[in-house]
A = this chain, B = another copy of it.
Amino acid sequence: MQTATTLYHPVMTDAGLLAAEPVTAIDEFGQTRDGQIAAERSLTVYLDKREVLTLMTLGTQPELLVLGWLRNQRLVPDINHIKAIQVDWETESAAVTTFNGIEDLDTKLGHKTVTTGCGQGTMFGSLMDDLDKIQLPQVHLHQSLIYSLLHALNEYNDVYRRAGAVHGCALCQGTDILRFVEDVGRHNAVDAIAGYMWLNDTPGHDKIFYTTGRLTSEMIIKVAQMGIPVLLSRSGATKMGLDLARKVGVTLIARAKGQHFLIYNGADQFDFDAKPARKPVSRPTHVEHARS
Q: Which A residues have a C-beta under 8 Å from some C-beta of B?
A: 21, 23, 25-31, 33-42, 44, 51-57, 69, 109-110, 112-125, 143, 160-165, 184-185, 187-188, 191, 212, 214-218, 235-242, 254-255, 259-264, 267, 270, 272, 275-276, 279-280, 285-292
Chain copies in the assembled complex: 2
Residue numbers in B under 8 Å from A290 (CB-CB): 164
Contact A163 B23 (CB under 8 A): no
Contact A31 B263 (CB under 8 A): no
Give the docked Cα–Cα distance between A115 and B55 (Å): 9
Residue from the list B55, B261, B264 in contact with A28, Cβ < 8 A: B261
Residue from the list B35, B119, B188 in contact with A119, Cβ < 8 A: B188
Residue numbers in B under 8 Å from A30 (CB-CB): 272, 275
Contact status of A162 and B216, CB under 8 A, knowing A54-B115, A118-B121, A120-B121: no
Give the docked Cα–Cα distance between A136 and B113 (Å): 33
Give the docked Cα–Cα distance between A218 and B54 (Å): 13
Residue from the list B40, B114, B259, B285 in contact with A53, Cβ < 8 A: B114
Contact B114 A242 (CB under 8 A): no
CB distance from A131 to the nearest CB of B (A): 14
Contact B264 A29 (CB under 8 A): no
Give the docked Cα–Cα distance between A25 and B39 (Å): 37
Contact A53 B161 (CB under 8 A): no
Contact B263 A26 (CB under 8 A): yes
Residue numbers in B under 8 Å from A288 (CB-CB): 35, 164
Residue numbers in B under 8 Å from A275 (CB-CB): 28-30
Contact B119 A286 (CB under 8 A): no
Contact status of A117 and B53, CB under 8 A, knowing A31-B280, A236-B38: yes
CB distance from A180 to the nearest CB of B (A): 16
Give the docked Cα–Cα distance between A28 and B142 (Å): 11
Residue numbers in B under 8 Å from A109 (CB-CB): 113
Give the docked Cα–Cα distance between A235 and B291 (Å): 11
Contact status of A291 and B23, CB under 8 A, knowing A30-B275, A124-B54: no
Residue numbers in B under 8 Å from A42 (CB-CB): 117, 124, 240
Residue from the list B161, B260, B261, B287 in contact with A23, Cβ < 8 A: B287
Give the docked Cα–Cα distance between A254 and B122 (Å): 28
Give the docked Cα–Cα distance between A279 and B218 (Å): 45
Which residue of B has the minimal Cβ distance to A265?
B25
Contact status of A56 and B216, CB under 8 A, knowing A119-B191, A275-B28: yes
